[in-house]
Amino acid sequence: MRGLKGRIACITGAAQGIGQEICIRLAEEGAIIIALDILDTKSTVNRCREKGGHARGFVFDVTNKNQIHRVVQEIGEQFERIDIWVNNAGVFDNTATVALSEQKWDQISDINYKAMFLCAQPVIPLMQKNNWGRFINLSSMAGKMAYSEEIAYCSTKAAVLGLTRALAVELGCHGITANAICPGPIQTDMLKNTYQHLADINGVTLEEWSADILKTIPAGRFGKPADVAALVAFLASDDAGFINGQAINIDGGLVFY
Ligand SMILES: NC(=O)c1ccc[n+]([C@@H]2O[C@H](COP(=O)([O-])OP(=O)(O)OC[C@H]3O[C@@H](n4cnc5c(N)ncnc54)[C@H](O)[C@@H]3O)[C@@H](O)[C@H]2O)c1
């Protein structure tokens, strides 16, 4: 157990995939879960409660500054603090550079990293009150590596690393850490949709495409949302209090820096 009992943990992109699993894991560790997503988070909230945890959901668009401030204010009024903020909401895109519209670029940037800045503004004072806090930001191995026709995804996930380091040096003296997580391929809808698209344009089946990728992963398997959730639980704990400004790979051995 990570000793998260009673911690107030807010997770964006919590309706499914990695975000849902983070909610469930932190609930198991005793945290009070605030599940945030543009989609309904009822299933996440119910699964946390089934584990004996406390959870509440909000419909929340990470690109909407007014909504962010309203929801953070409501959490602040109810609990008088926020301890853990996981910026997990994100979107993937694989459009060639010449085909990517400016509107799409802005949309991906707004969700994948500008949102982290917008959320940090009202959350920081609620962490500073207790001289304790954890920002955990989902980047990707694409934030360190580059992939063809992923200019928006690679750029925004690299920006997450810069934003995380900036938060880390600014907030470290307040007992607040900020760290980024760089997952490799994790089995979620996002990965399946991406691989299906790549399989289609390469004229192979999803199974054939996945099998080829699998051969490149030293661990010999794809990641599971639970793998990422376990890392989040550690970074959220007191044990991780001296880890700050890092970009931690969780990819079965694909990236070494
Ligand atoms: N799955 C992978 O292989 C993988 C690898 C590296 C990094 N990641 C990152 O992990 C995070 C979670 O990925 P996932 O695979 O679970 O994706 P997913 O598509 O299954 O879930 C993403 C969630 O974010 C929510 N979301 C999207 N836009 C939002 C918005 N504007 N406001 C609020 N919520 C919004 C969606 O509704 C969804 O519930 C993302 O940041 C992703 O880039 C995933």
Query: Which CATH number fits the domain that encloses residue 161?
Result: 3.40.50.720
Distance CA 198, CA 183 (A): 19
Amino acid found at 44: T
Centroid of ligand 1 to alpha carbon of 14 (angstroms)? 8
179 with 246: CB under 8 angstroms?
yes
Ligand 1, from 145, 190, 197, 213: best to mutate by most atoms within 8 Å of Cβ? 190
Domain with 193 in it: 187-222
Place of tokens 């080829």: 212
Place of tokens 């997990």: 88
pLDDT of residue 3: 82
Centroid of ligand 1 to alpha carbon of 190 (angstroms)? 7
Structural domain includes residue 251: no
Structural domain includes residue 38: yes
Answer yes or no: do 145 and 215 share one domain.
no
Could you tell me which residues are beta bridge partners of residue 182? 249
Answer yes or no: do 238 and 199 share one domain.
no
pLDDT of residue 240: 98
Answer yes or no: do 139 and 17 share one domain.
yes
Q: Of the listed 147, 153, 195, 257, which one is catalytic?
A: 153
pLDDT of residue 174: 98
Report H helices in the chain.
17-28, 42-50, 65-79, 102-109, 115-128, 151-171, 189-201, 206-214, 225-235
Amino acid found at 232: V
Cα–Cα distances in Å, from 246 out to 26, 86, 152, 181, 196? 21, 15, 22, 8, 32
Which residues does ligand 1 sit against, CB inside 6 Å?
12-13, 15-19, 37-39, 60-63, 88-92, 111, 138, 140, 183, 185-186, 188-191
Low pLDDT (below 70) residues in the chain: 1-2
Structural domain includes residue 82: yes
Structural domain includes residue 171: yes
24 with 50: CB under 8 angstroms?
no
Structural domain includes residue 13: yes
Answer yes or no: do 210 and 117 share one domain.
no
* Structural domains of the chain, count: 2
Active site residue 153: yes
Q: Which residues, other chains included, contact 148 with Cβ-Cβ below 8 Å and sequence gap of 6+?
A: none
The angle at the Cα of 164, spanning 31 to 59, to the nearest 5 degrees, equals 50
